[in-house]
Amino acid sequence: MTKTAKTSDFWEGIRETLPLMGAVIPFSLVFGATAVQAGYTIFETIFASATIFAGASQFVFIEVNGLQVPGWSVILSVFAVNFRHILYSASLGRYMQKFSPPKKLLAFFFMTDFHWANGETRIHTKGAERFTPTWYAGFTVPLYVMWVAGTAVGAVTGQMITNPEAFGFDFLLPIYFLTILIGFRRRPNFLFVVCVSGTVSYLALVILGEPWHISLGAITGVLAAALLPLKDRSDSVLTHGQGEDV
């Protein structure tokens, strides 16, 4: 590939992140402020964004770790929410012939819902040969820098808020999770899974108490989905179906 094509791949990657900033910047600010309000130090908060780099699961970490549960159940919740990445990496990995093994590992470290959605779009409109490490880098740098920087600004600002209830911080996470949940509504069996998980988790909370309601509700919903009569799977993620932004 010529030098010009490489440069244009990089800039195309950067340009594609611009429309995503409207989601990334506000949520990085909100994450920083929420984490500090939940009792994390500024350094811990930035460390979370820099190492995990997955919005929904960082909020899940705060929520579940606030329940005074054992560490492994916090990790299990994070793992479960990020489970969708397994489908993304299986799908994108098939088109990474231009990535050396170290570049591939590095690329996967930074892979978000956006990388998957924009990557699949690029592969299917411009061809797999334009799905290059250079494009990937251009797409990653602004997202990562803004996510970490926004977290830092949010954390420093959040520290100054002394009356979190006046800003609704105490109920921000349930609203945020609901938004993400609704984003998954076009997935097969969505309503069925929601009804099963919702009923079981609520009953488990009433009968057994925290934190078992999360695991029990989630596991029952997943098993129920697996046991449903099988339908046409042409809309699956592995055969480039539709994603959701988190």
Partner 1 sequence: MFELAARADVLWLLTAAAFVTFLTRIGGDLILSRFNYIHPRVEAALEAVPAAVLTAIVVPPALSAGPPEIMAIIAAGFAALRFSAFTVLVIGIGVLLAARNLGL
Task: Enumerate residues 140-199 that contact partner 1 by CB under 8 A.
Answer: 152, 156, 166-168, 171-172, 174-185, 187-190, 193-194, 196-198
As given in the structure block, the two tokens for residue 157 are 């600002």
Under the binding rule (CB under 8 A), the answer on residue 7 touching partner 1 is no
> Which of 36, 38, 17, 39 is closest to 152 using CA atoms?
36
Say if residue 102 is exposed, middle or buried (CB neighbours under 10 Å; 0-12, 13-18, 19+): exposed
Distance CA 24, CA 49 (A): 12
Print the binding letters for residues 212-231 with partner 1: x by CB under 8 A, - otherwise: -xxxxxxxxxxxxxxxx-x-
Among 28, 37, 65, 132, binds partner 1 (CB under 8 A): 65
Under the binding rule (CB under 8 A), the answer on residue 94 touching partner 1 is yes
Query: Could you tell me if 11 and 4 are in contact, meaning their C-beta atoms sit under 8 angstroms apart?
Result: no
Given the complex with partner 1, which of 8 and 82 has the nearer CB atom?
82
Distance CA 54, CA 58 (A): 6
Q: Which stretch binds partner 1 (CB under 8 A): 3-11, 64-72, 124-132, 136-144?
A: 64-72
Query: Which residues, numbered 41-60, are part of the site for partner 1 (CB under 8 A)?
Result: 41-44, 47-48, 51-54, 57, 60
Given the complex with partner 1, which of 141 and 156 has the nearer CB atom?
156
The count of residues in the chain is 246
φ, ψ of residue 112 in degrees (nearest 5):
-120, 180
Given the complex with partner 1, which of 3 and 231 has the nearer CB atom?
231
In the complex, least distance from residue 4 CB atom to partner 1, rounded to whole angstroms: 30
In the complex, least distance from residue 222 CB atom to partner 1, rounded to whole angstroms: 5
DSSP tag of 230: P
